[in-house]
Chain A
Amino acid sequence: MPATAKPIVLKPPLSDATVEQLSVGDRVLITGTIYGARDAAHKRLVELIEAGEPLPFPLEGAIVYYVGPCPGRPGRPTLSAGPTTASRMDRYAPVLMKHGLKAMIGKGARSESVVKAIQQYKAVYFGAVGGAGALLADRVRRCEPIAFHELGPEAVYLIEVKDFPAFVANDSRGNDLYRMAVQRYKRG
């Protein structure tokens, strides 16, 4: 994983072919529309799927970003928008992937069942740098709630990003950056 490797440019919606080209450790830059959703929004999305109701955004090929953004001010749609811990969404993620979700952005390792689901549904999990909220918000062109407004920071957000940086943490072949990279630098 050379730090100097040229990043791969991605534009959602993502196809199976695009996802299959990605490997653990690849650096990507995402440009286009992604959807922000975290704990409470995931609970609602899965309830809608189970009830056979329509979702507030198209899941097919979509990238979901695990984020609860800060408010913005004129010229900066959000002042801070970094990733939240992905494992809290582990119980919901496989259902969303089954219904077309292609990519997730978050921080921290996923459970074994999610890693398997990523492989099964040809999806990908991107790790972003946790705590770099101001830097990542710099790549946001638009950020507005489109569903479940009453949830405040936990609403579903439509987020337009330009050159949003992330690393491939789990690829569609079952590889896991968090486990592999740790082994390389582990002492003793």
Chain B
Amino acid sequence: MTRTRDPRVLRVIDAQTISEAIENMAVEACCKLSPDTLDALRAARDTERSPTGKEVLDALLENAAIAEREMAPICQDTGVAVVFVEIGDEVRVGGGSLVDAVNEGVRRGYTRGNLRKSIVGDPFGRVNTGDNTPAVLHVEVAEGDKLKIDFLAKGGGCENASFLGMLKPADGKQGTIEFVVGGVMNNAANSCPPVIVGVGIGGTMEKAALIAKRSLLRPLGQPNPDPNIAQLESVLLDGINGSGIGPAGFGGTTTALAVHVETHPCHIASLPVAVNLECHAHRHRQITL
């Protein structure tokens, strides 16, 4: 990458700018279904074989239209705010910390958008924090002077249905396919199908989970650039759609809209496989500052 800036002079991005971006992305993502998701639902409407399944897909398209018209949340579970930040090494945040800026944006967005506040302060005390903070924030450093933010409003139902296994290297591709398809079949009915299936293979336990979640940010149905992985994605999608679960779990041929697989190098002893399920209300936005 060509450096355009004297690396001794950092670009300052104001914390307020970051908060505003997060605020707007939260409201937009929760009320306006993204074009890639709408296209995938329309395509599924044309191929679905179950009459009830078609009826459910029609209801989801009507739901998206009502949500956009009324600026109403597509789904009442407006999720935990999952925020991926890629910060350039020539950037510094001014006027506050990055973490505070992100949480301030979540606080404002969830209030202004009449979004549901779904976060409890600790897992056992379970007292609602009242403003949907804190966000789950993942930060990575990149080269350059930009700051890229991905916002994902992640619903609880589909997150609960996600799973991870530390497979054996001998399980190989076939064992991985059986693990993913079998697990999705057991869990998809509770995840608001048709689902989007994010799969992370390799790395360590937490790396597999992280790349599984990150894969959900890819434009829906865009295959992995590696043709072998792209082929694995289509085998998994076909297997999952043969499960019969269908839209809303009422039976049908569309259980998943897409499968995204990401891989990472791993230890000689390991084959971690993480599956992060995402509901059809796939609420995501991206901005580069």
Q: Is B223 an interface residue (CB 8 A)?
A: no
Chain B residues in 8 Å Cβ range of A37: none
Closest B residue, CB atoms, query A137: B72
* Interface of chain B, main secondary structure: loop
How distant is B67 from chain A, measured CB to nearest CB, in Å?
4
Picked from B59, B73, B244, B245, the residue with its CB within 8 Å of the CB of A80 is: B73
Query: What number of B residues sit within 8 Å (CB to CB) of A?
Result: 52
Q: Using a CB-CB cutoff of 8 Å, which residues 114-153 of chain A contact chain B?
A: 127, 129-135, 137-138, 151-153
Instruction: Contact check, B75 vs A133: say whether CB atoms are below 8 A apart.
Output: yes
Known: A109-B189, A131-B192. A67 touches B114 (CB 8 A): no
Counting residue pairs across A and B whose Cβ atoms lie within 8 Å, the total is 168
How distant is B111 from chain A, measured CB to nearest CB, in Å?
9
Closest B residue, CB atoms, query A134: B67
Instruction: Contact check, B244 vs A130: say whether CB atoms are below 8 A apart.
Output: no
Q: Is B117 an interface residue (CB 8 A)?
A: yes
Known: A2-B51, A70-B116, A79-B114. A186 touches B75 (CB 8 A): no
How distant is A78 from chain B, measured CB to nearest CB, in Å?
8
Q: Is A63 an interface residue (CB 8 A)?
A: no
Q: Is B109 an interface residue (CB 8 A)?
A: no
Instruction: Contact check, B242 vs A130: say whether CB atoms are below 8 A apart.
Output: no
How distant is A76 from chain B, measured CB to nearest CB, in Å?
7
Instruction: Contact check, B251 vs A84: say whether CB atoms are below 8 A apart.
Output: no
Chain B residues in 8 Å Cβ range of A177: 250-251
Instruction: Contact check, A151 vs B128: say whether CB atoms are below 8 A apart.
Output: yes
Q: Is A6 an interface residue (CB 8 A)?
A: no
Picked from A1, A81, A133, the residue with its CB within 8 Å of the CB of B52 is: A1
Chain B residues in 8 Å Cβ range of A154: 128
Q: How far is the CA of A188 from the CA of B240 in the complex (A)?
A: 12
Instruction: Contact check, A80 vs B246: say whether CB atoms are below 8 A apart.
Output: no
Known: A129-B248, A167-B250, A182-B251. A80 touches B189 (CB 8 A): no
* Nearest 3 CB-CB pairings of A with B: A181-B251, A186-B244, A187-B242
- List residues of chain A with CB under 8 Å of any chain B CB: 1-3, 25, 40, 67-73, 76, 78-82, 84-85, 87, 107-109, 127, 129-135, 137-138, 151-154, 167, 177-178, 180-188
Besides A71-B114, A132-B63, A153-B128, 15 other A-B contacts (C-beta < 8 A) = A68-B77, A71-B115, A73-B114, A80-B73, A80-B75, A107-B192, A108-B157, A109-B249, A130-B279, A131-B75, A152-B130, A177-B250, A185-B53, A185-B246, A185-B253
